[in-house]
Amino acid sequence: MAALRRMLHLPSLMMGTCRPFPDSLAGSCLADRCLWDRLHAQPRLGTVPTFDWFFGYEEVQGLLLPLLQEARAAIPLRVLDVGCGTSSLCTGLYTKSPHPVDVLGVDFSPVAVAYMNSLLEGGQGQTPLCPGHPASSLHFMHADAQNLGSVASSGSFQLLLDKGTWDAVARGGLPRAYQLLSECLRVLNPQGTLIQFSDEDPDVRLPCLEQGSHGWAVTVQELGPFRGITYFAYLIQGCH
C-alpha cells in the first residue's frame, strides 16, 4: 500500500482512519468511490491511454500466460478483474494473449468504466482494440466487487485478478476486505486461481488470506522490483 500512497502523494494513513490530504483528491479515503471518480476524470498525460497503479500487464504477463495455458478446460477462459480502474491488465490480456479469453473488468467508479468502454470502442483518440485471439472478448461493467451478484453466478470464472483492490477496500476496514475476498472466491471456479497483486508484506497479508480462504491453497510469489519497489502476487487456488 505504500506504493499506492506515494503515487497519490498521500500522507500516511492509519489503519481504519482516513485523514485528509492536501490536493485535489482531499477529503476522501481510498475506499471512497468519490476519490476514484475524481481521479479517473483527470486528463491523461502523454500518449498512454491507460493508467496503472503498481505496474501494468507487461510486467506480469509471464505469470498470467502460463496460468491461462494450464487452465484451458474452458474455451475461452473467463477472467474477472475486480476494481479494474483504467489499468492495462484487461486490455493487455485481450489484445496480447495468444489464448482465447473472455475478460470482464468491473469497477465501482462509473467514470472508470465509461472511460474503458470508450477506449475499447476506439474513443480517447485511440484506434479500436483488437483481440490477440479471434475468440477473445472484453467487457467492462459498473459493479461493486464486494457484491458481485449482478455480475456472475458462483464458480463462473477461471481466473480472478485483484491489483490493489484489497489494499484500497481495507482502508474502509478489514471486514470489507474479507467481504471482497468472499465474493471473489464465490464466483471463482473451484479449480481456478485468484491473484492479489500488492506491495504489502507477506507477514501481514498471508495470515489475512489464510483466515479468509479456508479450503483454498494460498501461496506468494515475489515480483519486481519495478521502479525500485518490490511487489507480491498472492495466489489463492483450489486444493486439487
**Residue with the larger pLDDT of the pair 48 and 240:** 48
Q: Is 96 in contact with 132 (CB distance < 8 Å)?
A: yes
Q: Using the 8-state DSSP alphabet, how is residue 133 labeled?
A: S
- Report the C-alpha gap between 52 and 86 in whole angstroms: 7
What confidence score (pLDDT) does residue 69 get?
87
**Residue with the larger pLDDT of the pair 168 and 17:** 168
**Residue with the larger pLDDT of the pair 71 and 27:** 71
Q: What is the CATH number of domain 74-231?
A: 3.40.50.150
Residue 219 forms beta bridges with which residues? 235
Check pLDDT > 80 for residue 2: no
- Report the C-alpha gap between 56 and 225 in whole angstroms: 13
Q: Which of 13-27, 133-147, 152-166, 222-236 has the lowest mean pLDDT?
A: 13-27
Average pLDDT value for the chain: 84
Q: Is 81 in contact with 87 (CB distance < 8 Å)?
A: yes
What confidence score (pLDDT) does residue 26 get?
38
Q: What band does 194 get if pLDDT is binned at 50, 70 and 90?
A: very high
What confidence score (pLDDT) does residue 126 get?
79
What confidence score (pLDDT) does residue 240 get?
56
**What is the mean pLDDT of the segment spanning 121-143?**
90
Check pLDDT > 80 for residue 31: no
Question: Taking CA 165 as the corner, what is the angle to CA 95 and CA 140, rounded to the nearest 5 degrees?
Answer: 40
Over its C-alpha atoms, the chain yields an Rg (Å, rounded) of 17
User: Quick one: which H or E segment has residue 89?
Assistant: helix 89-96
Check pLDDT > 80 for residue 111: yes
Q: Is 204 in contact with 177 (CB distance < 8 Å)?
A: no
> In this structure, what C-alpha cell is assigned to residue 220?
506468494
**What is the mean pLDDT of the segment spanning 4-27?**
37
pTM score, whole prediction: 0.85
Q: Which of 30-39, 61-70, 84-93, 157-166 has the lowest mean pLDDT?
A: 30-39
**What is the mean pLDDT of the segment spanning 16-42?**
53
Check pLDDT > 80 for residue 231: yes
- Report the C-alpha gap between 65 and 60 in whole angstroms: 9
What confidence score (pLDDT) does residue 131 get?
96
Q: pLDDT tens digits, residue range 35-56?
A: 666 776 777 666 677 888 889 9
**Residue with the larger pLDDT of the pair 53 and 213:** 213
**What is the mean pLDDT of the segment spanning 112-119?**
93
In DSSP notation, 19-78 reads ---SSTTTT--TT-HHHHHHHHHSPPPSS-----SS--HHHHHHHHHHHHHHTTTSSSEE
Answer whether the bond into residue 76 is a cis peptide, omega within 30°: yes
Q: pLDDT tens digits, residue range 54-82?
A: 899 999 999 999 999 887 666 899 999 99
**Residue with the larger pLDDT of the pair 29 and 152:** 152
What confidence score (pLDDT) does residue 75 get?
81
- Residue partners of 127: CB distance under 8 A and separation at least 6: none
